[in-house]
Amino acid sequence: MKNLLARVRRPVRRLRTERLILLTLLSFAATVTLTRLILYLTGYPQLGNVELHVAHVLWGGMLLFVASLLPLLFANRWALTGSAALSGIGIGLFIDEVGKFITQTHNYFYPAAAPIIYTFFLLTVLLYVQVRRAPRSDARAHLYHALDALEEVLDHDLTPQERQELLARLRYAAARADQSDLAHLAQHLLTFLSDEHLHLAPDTPGPLRRLRAWGEQTERRWLGRRRLKAIVMLGLAGLGVLAVVNLGSLLLSVRSAAALERTLRQLVEAGRVASASGLAWFSARVALEGTVGALLLLAAVLLLVRREHFGLRLGLLGLLLSLAAVDLLLFYFEQFSTIGWAAVQFTTLLALLHYQRTYALPSVEALRRFAEAKEH
């Protein structure tokens, strides 16, 4: 009983989890988008005969099962990569048919299906944002990560940079371990990895590293701070203008009772409003869209007059509100035609965050120089 109580069951986050979640996220989004596009272009064909219909939800379930088997069968790191990609494709094919399984009539085009899929996507994005944050690491966690990285030694794929990262983890574990056996394990691994005869693979950058280096070089050469700020301002202003114009055109179209009746008839005939609650949700969508548009326009103006701190914060608030609330209603009323609009918003959000991180927030080096200047 004493030995059982002494066992440690505390979970340890896997190293580089954010890359696996990102791969799942991208494959999920691409699968839903391509599936809907292909079905639309081909006239929504069915695989089967008079009696059978092999829906793509079955293929999604099969891929999810294969994705769950890969890390159970293989210890290699590529099994995790394959599992992440297949799970994203599988859940994309699976959830794309959610409309059939929440309605009595098995309606693939049920309006609520699109916001359900989008909500699931947003939850996955939230998970990705959470795992990007550095977790609290102790000696045990660093040893977990070091043992996982030793796979590179077995595959003759350990580079000098990876060895330095391994040595840093093991030194931390050896110095901070609260158990002598963990400290001894870290010391023995340090001795092994410090051996000059250890085979090291050439540090050849892969396609992703080369692409990232090319992107950083292109940004330094062609963008810079002023042009990136201009792109962010134009993105915020463009999104804001479109939202405000949409609200204004709707308000102008209901200036009289006859115009209001005509507008409501058009909404009902288009299938956007089917009940009193649907009209309430449509009104909420228009009001939210106009509010977000005003926030984005104000953020663009603040950036223009060099009030970057408030402008970036307001722009971030507006974009997050648009992605989390407005787009949810847009997917209900406009269905998957909203994908392009949401993609533009995500791109603007990424540009804003990149500008904020690169130019607006003070770097550690700048803070250090400021502290040294204050001391002198």
244-293 pLDDT, tens per residue? Answer: 887 777 776 666 666 666 666 766 665 556 555 566 666 677 777 878 88
Residue 53, beta-bridge partner list = 48
Cα dist from 80 to 76, 149, 304, whole Å = 8, 13, 46
Lowest average pLDDT, out of 3-17, 47-61, 99-113, goes to 3-17
Question: Per residue in 296-353, pLDDT tens?
Answer: 888 888 888 878 788 888 888 888 877 777 777 777 666 666 677 778 888 888 888 7
**Tokens standing for residue 270:** 């288009």
Short-list 250, 240, 223, 267, CA closest to 359: 223
As a whole number, mean pLDDT of residues 3-26 equals 77
**Residue 208 has what pLDDT?**
67
**Residue 164 has what pLDDT?**
87
Q: Is 335 left (phi over 0), alpha (psi -120 to 50) or beta?
A: left
CA dist., res. 324 & res. 314, Å (int): 15
Domain boundaries, the chain: 10-44+53-132, 139-193, 225-366
Residue scoring higher pLDDT (194 or 286): 194
pLDDT of 134 above 50: yes
Distance of CA 142 to the CA centre of its chain: 26
Residues near 327 by beta carbon (within 8 Å), at least 6 away in sequence? 118, 338, 341, 342, 345
Three-class SS string for 52-66? CECCHHHHHHHHHHH
As a whole number, mean pLDDT of residues 18-45 equals 84
**Tokens standing for residue 62:** 């099969």
- Greatest mean pLDDT among 135-144, 168-177, 214-223, 243-252: 168-177
CA dist., res. 121 & res. 93, Å (int): 13
pLDDT range class, residue 68, cuts 50, 70, 90 = very high
Contact call for residues 53 and 47 (beta carbons, < 8 A) = yes
